[in-house]
Structure 1
């Protein structure tokens, strides 16, 4: 693949993201939907919470109820898609980009998302179908087809969900696992990927029944292990926990100021990142969790809807809060680490900016948050043995000033001339250095 194709693909994905997930209207639409249903249904996340706990414990279970999974199995399956990537990586990304304020808006997304999930799961369970083999099939697409009589929309949703499953359902998880194992034990990424594919294939071929049986056993174990580990980190940094919580509430409606390598985030940006990552952590409104819940054994759809109320509470309000306090109390969210840079996350600006100078931080803050233009660098950069020797520019990577940048090609230090045009690197070359978060 040549650089022109990569550039075109990147621009296309960036345009799509700007129209959907990162669009200014998105957090208002998502949060507004939850607020509407919460008020209209008179706060079901509060009124039915205790009843939902009793349902999950099996108090009202009936052996002859139609379905392929118990309430707990359906809950575990739905949570399994978010505990890990959404609750760890998603929270970290929100805080590293939006500061402490982003955690507050993740909480708000979870609270109102509890009602959104209640509605979507109840409807999906109500309009589910039984196939020729007696297996349950359900989800938002069946609501669209059977209730709204909009088969074209059902088909579009189903296709979009399949495509989305690659981007949010397996690629980030597999990549994180493989990268972590390679870093810790030196095992090649491809080998880990192959093992994961085989193991997951053995689970998937068993259908929904085997999937829920595996999720029922794995999810509680991994949640407990992570919870214990997170509490251990918080205990070590206990003196900073209070200040971290104060920062979350203090910055919620003002945005987060610059600190260390973090260049600051406006209210609008923190709000957007918090709501965006909130959806990523609990999937309330995404439409994927109702597919698992539709298979639950229940005569009354609303009872399964009540069970789904627990998901955003457990995976966002509980586990995401734990992750957030670990990151904030330890102070790592302002520290730069070694990262691989993707070119679409890089921007070269003219001038030597220093995050220790207040005027430079202010200029970059307004550039990153309000689009106030700084002069983009255009020209050539001389590189010797992987290190740039040309001055007069600053490389930004994912909203932070990059440090100790190394250019390589074919895993060897690059020497030669790089061309920068309007802040973008023209050549397709590997770049690595220190920044707040990876690409």
Structure 2
């Protein structure tokens, strides 16, 4: 019965209805903000990754008693949750199920998703509040209640959607944020190093507890070191394989573009099916990988010490860019240049599962070290995802039940890691997929309802920064916080 209900809901949230809503939200937010992610590409690159090396306040740690985190720490914690097994296994699944053309549509979804993520983070900063500990609390819950809820006749709707979003986020934190990740870690470590799954479970309970119970400051301190390290190591390994198979790169890109429009399927008479599969799997895996539109990463971006909503919005753009355009593309090229697919037809010619494709590609080049490298990469990717989602679930519990309940949530979350290491994964993945999608619906309603606010904040920023107009900045929806941020 659970599988039947879940299958029905999954068909809605990740079927034509949900994917169309996600696509249209990206298109609309791109239009109302005048293609900010494209027209101001150089600006947001300079203000994000460029600023890390030039502006010390971007990466500077806040005082020990300060409950805020730096802009760089907020990015790393958000990337910790998004860069995960989806960047490895998810990309392979998209190519196997939708053909190489799925990667093109993954790019399209990520370009649009940049503005969805941007809008979420702008709203997250604009509507965030401070809790009794002095920590910033923000997320879809707050702009649903205070943004959508402030509109005529929408007060009750805003509260209901905020409640639903929080519940779905808590459930998703146990699913995609714990069970799926820990199970992937234990399975890969057992395959590569013969480490018993229960040993992995015990170690992960201990390691997760040390970090998570220390709060967002400790999570951020770990992720700001772990995320850059794991990303650079994986990128270098992937670039090494792609360089070795460099003569196949043009054919790989040609296969992606041909498959994107079903051209590689013409000879087989299945043009329509090939095109539909490429679009659906590209959109689905793209959204699943970078989480733009789910409203999840807003909760950590809102903890940043930044004043300017647009500044944090630009970090949201970079987050999607790094996750999908960089990491997912490299994974796709590793798979497509390693000889597992006929690049003319886009068909898989080697019988290898999605979970093993990248490991096999690394193994073909680096020998026995290859699968071990991927096992360690998945360990780091998945563990960082656990840390990121623990914060998301904690913030949702705080919104629903108050700050004291977060301690109990963290204890349950850490203890869950032991059981996650040994349980069957199939239903957990399916349920997690659905809960992620269910988070998306109320969040996107809130983003679209508040699109006028995002547009006004963006125009206010561009007028001040690019046109040098002497106007009052828009920092917060609340007069007392606006005044505090101006001082």
Structure 1 residue 73 corresponds to structure 2 residue 73: yes
- Aligned residues of 2:129 and 2:138 also touching (Cα < 8 A): yes
Which of these residues, 26, 32, 53, is aligned with residue 18 of structure 2? 26
Which of these residues, 200, 214, 221, is aligned with residue 213 of structure 1? 221
**CA–CA separation in structure 2 for the residues paired with 1:289 and 1:247:** 33
SS at match of 2:11: helix
Structure 1 residue 338: Cα displacement: 6.8
- Quickly say closer, same or farther: Cα 1:77–1:339, change in 2 above 3 A: closer
Structure 1 residue 14 corresponds to structure 2 residue 7: yes
User: What TM-score, normalized by structure 2, do the two folds share?
Assistant: 0.64
**CA–CA separation in structure 1 for the residues paired with 2:180 and 2:335:** 20
Spell out the pairing of 1:82-97 with structure 2 (5 A cutoff). Answer: 82-97=82-97
Aligned to 2:148: 148
Larger radius of gyration: 1
- Aligned residues of 2:93 and 2:354 also touching (Cα < 8 A): no
Structure 1 residue 171 corresponds to structure 2 residue 179: yes
Spell out the pairing of 1:253-268 with structure 2 (5 A cutoff). Answer: 253-254=261-262, 257=265, 266-268=274-276
User: What TM-score, normalized by structure 1, do the two folds share?
Assistant: 0.70
Structure 1 residue 339: Cα displacement: 9.3
- Quickly say closer, same or farther: Cα 1:338–1:152, change in 2 above 3 A: closer
SS at match of 1:296: coil
Q: Point out 4+ residue stretches in structure 1 off by more than 4 angstroms.
A: 62-67
The structure where strand makes up a greater share of residues is: 1
- Quickly say closer, same or farther: Cα 1:258–1:329, change in 2 above 3 A: farther
**CA–CA separation in structure 1 for the residues paired with 2:78 and 2:217:** 14
Structure 1 residue 133: Cα displacement: 1.4
**CA–CA separation in structure 1 for the residues paired with 2:225 and 2:35:** 32
**CA–CA separation in structure 1 for the residues paired with 2:354 and 2:101:** 24
- Aligned residues of 2:140 and 2:298 also touching (Cα < 8 A): yes
Which of these residues, 206, 212, 222, is aligned with residue 198 of structure 1? 206
CA-to-aligned-CA distance 1:214-243 (integer Å, 9 cap, x gap): 110100000000001101111222222111
Spell out the pairing of 1:203-352 with structure 2 (5 A cutoff). Answer: 203-254=211-262, 257=265, 266-332=274-340, 334=348, 335-337=350-352
Report 1 or 2 for greater relative contact order, CA contacts < 8 Å, sequence distance ≥ 6.
Answer: 2
Unpaired runs of 5+ residues, structure 1, are 1-7, 341-439
Aligned to 2:407: none
Aligned to 1:51: 43
**CA–CA separation in structure 2 for the residues paired with 1:212 and 1:121:** 18
Aligned to 2:111: 111
The structure where helix makes up a greater share of residues is: 2
**CA–CA separation in structure 2 for the residues paired with 1:148 and 1:161:** 19
Q: Report which stretch shifted further, 56-65 or 147-156.
A: 56-65
- Quickly say closer, same or farther: Cα 1:99–1:206, change in 2 above 3 A: same
How many residue pairs were aligned?
329
SS at match of 2:88: helix
- Aligned residues of 1:101 and 1:256 also touching (Cα < 8 A): no
Spell out the pairing of 1:396-415 with structure 2 (5 A cutoff). Answer: none
